[in-house]
Amino acid sequence: MNSSRRDEDLAVAAAKWDAHHGKQGASSAWSWWNEPAIFNYLGKLVCGEPCARSEDLPVLAIKKHCAPDVPFEHALSVGCGAGHKEISLLQSGIVRHFTLYDISKEALSRVRVRAEKARVADFVRLVCADAFQCERGKFDMVYWDNALHHMMDAHAALAWSRRRLKRGGTLVVNDFVGPSRFQWKEELLAMCNEIVSYFNVPPTCRTDAKELEKIDPTEAADSGRIQEALLRYFPDALWIPLGGALYFVGFTGKPVKFTPDSLVHMIGLDARLNAAGIYVYAFALAKKA
């Protein structure tokens, strides 16, 4: 991709995320991000214990899997969004200083407010720019949280991440790793839609990739290659599938109201699919030798 096309794509994506972070009020559609039961499930998958909030997951995971390396003196996050998890990592003492990149000014405004309220603003460096073009530093941890799937080239992003790590540094990835541009396989759609029909919600359809690209050129741009790219540049990485065939593909964005029992049932079905290798999210940890 030439630089002018890349700049145009990033400008479109930045406008989309500025609008997203500038919105007030909640959507009436169901989202797994708002369900503590989902994070209990994910916590058990990643570190053997439940967690109630999304920002607790990386804290518990890093404490379990990276204890000898904690705290990380200098960490880098690309596509930090509103920074919930990065602030949590600072508050927990896992990270001492965080450099946070995002192309959305609105997102970074939210990070600034959150950091001030949490009294960690002095330990945060905020940069509204393309990290690949600007950042040349070396870090003890490179952190990707639901942002790696927005990179246009997964191999280039992970090769760059490796260069940004100091020797012995740690890569942490918590991300969507499903098909690029949400081009679900027919088998997955059939399986999901058979299950969601029992919950009386509309079926999931394959996304129009061209329309999605117009709205946000970065959305799931190369997500389907994240696993192969990560294992190429970090062959000894720990890779933990986190499901999502149902809680994301099947139900997110739908007008569904789960009862406590039906939510538990749905999560149980998602877990069975995850155990069978059918998933769209994953958590990964790796060290640069």
Helix (H) or strand (E) holding 140: strand 139-145
pLDDT 10s digits, 39-89: 999 999 999 999 989 999 999 999 999 999 999 999 999 999 999 999 999
Average pLDDT over residues 256-267: 94
Q: Which H or E element spans position 126?
A: strand 124-128
pTM: 0.95
Q: Give pLDDT, residue 272.
A: 96
Percent of the chain whose predicted confidence (pLDDT) is above 90: 91
Instruction: Show me where the domains of the chain are located.
Output: 3-20+29-287
Spatial separation of the C-alpha atoms in residues 277 and 286, rounded to whole Å: 21
Is the pLDDT score of 3 beyond 80?
A: no
Helices 56-65 + 36-47 axis angle, to 10: 10
pLDDT attached to residue 200: 87
Question: What would the CATH number be for the domain defined by 3-20+29-287?
Answer: 3.40.50.150
CB 80 within 8 A of CB 100: yes
Number of Cβ atoms within 10 Å of the Cβ of 136 = 7
Given phi > 0 = left and psi -120 to 50 = alpha, else beta, which region is 146? Answer: left
Task: Say yes or no to pLDDT of 2 above 90.
Answer: no
Q: How confident is the model at residue 20 (pLDDT cuts 50, 70, 90)?
A: confident
What's the mean pLDDT when you consider all of the chain? Answer: 95
Scored b (16 or more CB within 10 A) or e, 179-199 reads bbbbebeeebbebbbebbeeb
- Token reading at 117: 């309220």
Question: What tokens were used for 6?
Answer: 């890349």
The stretch 253-272 carries a mean pLDDT of 94
Whether pLDDT at 26 is above 70:
no
The tokens 């998958």 sit on which residue? 45
Torsion 245-250-251-253 (CA) sign: positive
Q: Given this model, what pLDDT does residue 28 score?
A: 72
- Please give the average per-residue pLDDT across 257-276, as a whole number: 95
Q: How far apart are CA 29 and CA 216, in angstroms?
A: 20
pLDDT tens digits, residue range 241-258?
999 999 999 999 999 999
**Residue-level pLDDT at 1:** 66
The Cβ of residue 38 has, within 10 Å, a number of other Cβ atoms equal to 22
Q: What is the DSSP string of 147-169?
A: -GGGSS-HHHHHHHHHHHEEEEE
Query: Which pLDDT score, from 0 to 100, does residue 22 have?
Result: 83
Quote the longest CA-to-CA distance of the chain: 52
- Within its chain, how far is the Cα of 154 from the centroid? 14
Nearest one of 35, 66, 39, 61 to 50, comparing CA atoms: 39
Between 200 and 119, the more confident residue is 119
- pLDDT at site 27: 65
Quick one: pLDDT at residue 24?
63
